[in-house]
A and B are shown apart, each in its own frame.
Chain A
Amino acid sequence: GAVVSQHPSWVICKSGTSVKIECRSLDFQATTMFWYRQFPKQSLMLMATSNEGSKATYEQGVEKDKFLINHASLTLSTLTVTSAHPEDSSFYICSARNSLLYPGANVLTFGAGSRLTVL
Chain B
Amino acid sequence: QKEVEQDPGPLSVPEGAIVSLNCTYSNSAFQYFMWYRQYSRKGPELLMYTYSSGNKEDGRFTAQVDKSSKYISLFIRDSQPSDSATYLCAMTSTGANNLFFGTGTRLTIIP
Contact = CB atoms under 8 A, between A and B. Distances in A.
B98 A107 contact: no
Interface stretch (B35-43, B59-67, B70-78): B35-43
A105 to B, nearest CB: 5
Contacts of B94: 104
Nearest to B91: A106
Nearest to A6: B43
Contacts of A111: 43
Contacts, number: 53
Interface of A: 4, 6, 32, 34, 41-44, 46, 49, 91, 93, 95, 102, 104-113, 115
A43 B44 CA distance: 10
A49 B101 contact: no
Contacts of A112: 42-43
A102 B49 CA distance: 9
5 contacts: A43-B88, A104-B94, A106-B98, A109-B46, A111-B43
A86 B18 CA distance: 42
A113 B101 contact: no
Q: Which of A6, A93, A110 has the most CB of B within 10 A?
A: A110
A43 B97 contact: no
B41 A115 contact: yes
Contacts of B102: 43
B80 interface: no
A49 B92 CA distance: 15
Nearest to B45: A110
Given A44-B88, A112-B43, A106 B97 contact: yes
